[in-house]
Amino acid sequence: MKILVGVKRVVDFNVRIQVKPDGSGVATDGVKMSMNPFDEIAVEEALRIKEAGNAEEVIVATIGPKACQEQLRTALAMGADRAIHVLTDEEIQPLTGARILKALVDKESPKIVMLGKQAIDDDNNQTAQMLGALAHWPQATFASEVKIDGDTATVTREVDAGLETLSVDLPAVISADLRLNEPRYVKLPDIMKAKRKPLEAIPLADLGVEIAPAVNVLKTTAPAKREAGIKVETVAELVSALKEKGLI
């Protein structure tokens, strides 16, 4: 059984985001880039499924410019067997990403596609669901536990009311939530081995996928700065201040 895992290159979660002066987007020049944290969790879960004897191969895939190969090499160092890089400089929105992944599913015939539940740069939380619809596969999103038994996956997922358990037939799309696992630490020997693992580059044009954007971003702005707070000495002063602001 193959597992295909999608990974995305994003601004590292520790970086303080800066908006470009012209409002055309987020500044990325000289900024540290990393694998999307939820995708890293998805890679880890795929590796654990393989190590448990329920899969034979883990394939990682990404979409974007040549620099994205850095994140693929990270996934290979974690233990993935090979990587696929769909080369493009175009902006990839969720529907286009789902269409590209569907083309890779047709090419590789995996039994499971593992994705992070969302990317921390746009927070759309759409690609996994769209891929499930395009492939006509069952989907189990926001997974906090995954158990594989033959051609069935039992997935515990986090929902607003608590936890929900689904049993889905494979092939299926599964998206990883934060509490699914703790990704492993990558050691230097694994990084060196990853350089020798196969990485296939495919121009986006070769997949015949429609890339017309569904959403046009007009302008990007930073959040408004919060006003400084005030201190009060007594409860009476607090109540009075709240009344003045019309809050009570």
Q: Does residue 140 have a pLDDT over 90?
A: yes
Average pLDDT over every residue of 125-139: 95
pTM: 0.86
Average pLDDT over every residue of 225-247: 88
Q: Which residue has the higher pLDDT, 194 or 216?
A: 194
Helix pair 37-51, 69-78: axis angle to 10 deg: 30
Distance separating alpha carbons of residues 62 and 75, to the nearest angstrom: 11
Range of weakest confidence among 9-13, 16-20, 138-142: 16-20
DSSP 144-171: EEEEEETTEEEEEEEETTEEEEEEEESS
Distance separating alpha carbons of residues 233 and 104, to the nearest angstrom: 63
Range of weakest confidence among 79-83, 159-163, 224-228: 224-228
Domain ranges of the chain: 2-217
Q: What tokens appear for 30 in the block?
A: 């000289």
For the sheet with 162-169, list strands across it: 162-169, 152-159, 139-149, 172-176, 112-116, 2-6, 57-64, 82-87, 199-203
Backbone dihedral region of 110: left (phi > 0), alpha (psi from -120 to 50 degrees) or beta? Answer: beta
Question: Are 155 and 166 within 8 A, CB to CB?
Answer: yes
Q: Which residue has the higher pLDDT, 7 or 221?
A: 7
Q: Has domain 2-217 been given CATH number 3.40.50.620?
A: yes
